Amino acid sequence: MRIWMPLRITLAHGIRGGMERQSDTLARGLVDLGHAVTVVTTAHPGGERVEMVDGVEILYVPGSTWRRYQSSWWRNSYRLLAHRHIYTPYDLILSQSAGGLGYLAQARRDLALPSVVIFHGSSRGEIITAWRGARSPRGIYRLMRLGWRLPRLLTLWRGTAPSVAHWIAPSASVGDENRREIGFPAERLTIIPNGVDIDTFRPDPARRSAARARLGLPEAAPVVVAATRLEAEKGVQVALAALAQTRAAAPDARLVVAGDGGYAESLRRRAADLGLGGAVSFLGFVPHAELPDILAAGDVFVMPSLCHEAFPVSILEALAAGLPVVASRVGGVPAAITPGATGYLVTPGDASALAAALLSLLAAPGRRRAMGALGRRTAEARYSRAATTQAVEDVVRAVVARDVAGQATPRQSSAGVGVW
């Protein structure tokens, strides 16, 4: 089966976003199952047009940008698809969120190509995130820009919905939000959680010692890790305030922050103002391939997000690495954490609640190890790349089989070539 997977990749931040990481994991998993996968994405900063990475063909669309969806991105992507489809016909479009939104209906009409859309969030979630982040001129601008473009996107989604064969969401909350916003029947929705590579992200005592030595962390110090974009809505400032509150009971606690973004300097100043000094390490840009080492150095993972998160891959990676997770109770996060068993959930923005949850783990090594071990078993059972990729493949195969069974005659493509 040949699969066309449109995706905008964010190349400008540190740890790449969860959507990009999850899409990369899925593409590689589908290749391992014997499928040919073409990922079409935004322009490469080095000017490359095509490359093969671990069996996945990646096409870069010249002149496009990851910053926002544009008509030119969809138009140029569709031209590329239609041209390639003549010579190497595809079986399905697997759109990552709105990656292929602007041409799914046209591909169905002119190329007879069915499509499956994988949600990574919702319009409601975007609005909540932008509203909570509107505490600065930059945040206000982002909220205004969202208010300008969101009605057009929703109109496009609703008009495209009849052309989409099936929808996938990482959590029930994300699925329900999109069903209400876009309007499609429940029987066309499947909930499939995000997946992680549990062989790469795993507990590893040897890696732990090496990573701590490289990062200059004391071997016995309790270490909290955060891996995220450094923007106000991601809430790292709340983690800093919480760490300051734990210092009396856990004076040797450390916080390691992996990632970069527009709020980085503000966070560094905030850490200094709180007197945290050497207790916080800002690592800046961290390639995703190095993230397993960063997690291995930690004892607890924190995600203090103020966003309306869908189903964060970073939490699943932490669970797979054997770390208990303390996270904000937002979006689909509660579906990933069992409070008191694999971590704790706290009210977003509540530094005191976050501090109490962190301290309950920092002061109890046995508890955090037991919770981390259960988190690892949970990741193995529910979130392995193999399990989630197989679930997506089951949906894809069913859609293609149903589509083939329903076609009796070839249709004409826009290029005048008959395709099935």
CATH number at residue 94: 3.40.50.2000
With residue 359 as reference, give the H or E element that holds it: helix 351-362
Average pLDDT, the chain: 87
Give mean pLDDT, residues 210-214: 94
Q: How far is residue 196's CA from residue 29's CA, in Å, rounded to a whole number?
A: 10
Kindly tell me if the per-residue pLDDT of 108 is higher than 60: yes
The answer to whether position 122 is within a domain reads yes
Of 363, 107, 316, nearest in space to 221 by CA: 363
- Residues pairing with 327 in the sheet: 303, 345
Q: Are residues 183 and 156 in the same domain?
A: yes
The fraction of the chain above a pLDDT of 70, given in percent, is 89
CA distance 362 to 358: 6
Spatial distance between the Cα atoms of 8 and 12, rounded to a whole number of angstroms: 12
Same domain, 239 and 318: yes
The SS3 of residue 349 is: coil
Residues in the chain: 420
Structure confidence at residue 7 (pLDDT): 65
Q: Is residue 126 part of a domain?
A: yes
CA distance linking residue 370 with residue 361, whole number of Å: 10
Name residues whose C-beta falls within 8 Å of residue 29's C-beta, 6 or more positions apart in sequence. Answer: 195, 385, 386, 388, 389, 392
Q: Is residue 200 part of a domain?
A: no
361 and 402 within one domain: no
- The pLDDT value given to residue 407: 62
Q: What is the pLDDT of residue 48?
A: 85
Query: Which two structure tokens, joined as six digits, stand for 8?
Result: 């905008």
Which pLDDT value is given to residue 67?
58
| pLDDT tens, residue by residue, 78-105 | 999 999 999 889 999 999 888 899 999 9
> Same domain, yes or no, for 158 and 250?
no
pLDDT attached to residue 9? 43
CB atoms within 10 A of CB 75: 14
Token pair 């975007």 is at which residue?
126
Residue 52 pairs in a beta bridge with 57
Which pair of structure tokens corresponds to residue 250? 């856990």
Both 129 and 139 in a single domain? yes
The yes-or-no verdict on residue 408 having pLDDT over 60 is no
Stretch 116-126: mean pLDDT, rounded? 82
* Closest to 96 (Cα-Cα) out of 77, 71, 76: 77
Range of the domain at 69: 2-195+384-419
Kindly state whether residues 87 and 112 are assigned to the same domain. yes
* Per-residue CA distances from 311 to 54, 175, 202 (Å): 25, 11, 20
The CA distance from 310 to 193, in Å, is 10
270 and 402: one domain?
no
pLDDT at 3 over 90: no
pLDDT of 308 over the 90 cut: no
pLDDT exceeds 70 at position 419: no
3-7, 57-61, 120-124, 245-249, range with the lowest pLDDT: 120-124
The DSSP annotation for 367-380 comes to HHHHHHHHHHHHHH
C-beta separation of 94 from 118 below 8 A: yes
Instruction: Return phi, psi of residue 36, to 5°.
Output: -95, 120
291 dihedral zone (left: phi>0; alpha: psi -120 to 50; beta): alpha
- Check: CB of residue 263 under 8 Å from CB of residue 232: yes
Looking at the structure, do residues 56 and 135 belong to the same domain, yes or no?
yes
Write down the pLDDT at residue 73: 83
In this structure, the answer to whether residues 366 and 398 fall within a common structural domain is no
Please report whether residue 144 resides in a domain: yes
Structural domain total, the chain:
2
pLDDT tens digits, 232-284:
889 999 999 999 999 989 999 999 999 999 899 999 999 999 999 889 999 99
pLDDT tens for 21-39 read 778 888 888 999 999 999 9
Is residue 155 located within the same domain as residue 8?
A: yes
Least confident of 145-159, 160-174, 238-252, 302-316: 145-159
Q: Which band of pLDDT confidence, cut at 50, 70 and 90, is reported for residue 148?
A: low
User: So what's the pLDDT on residue 8?
Assistant: 52
Q: Are residues 43 and 127 in the same domain?
A: yes
Higher pLDDT, 32 or 64: 32
CB 227 within 8 A of CB 256: no
Instruction: Specify the DSSP class assigned to residue 196.
Output: B
Q: Are residues 42 and 123 in the same domain?
A: yes
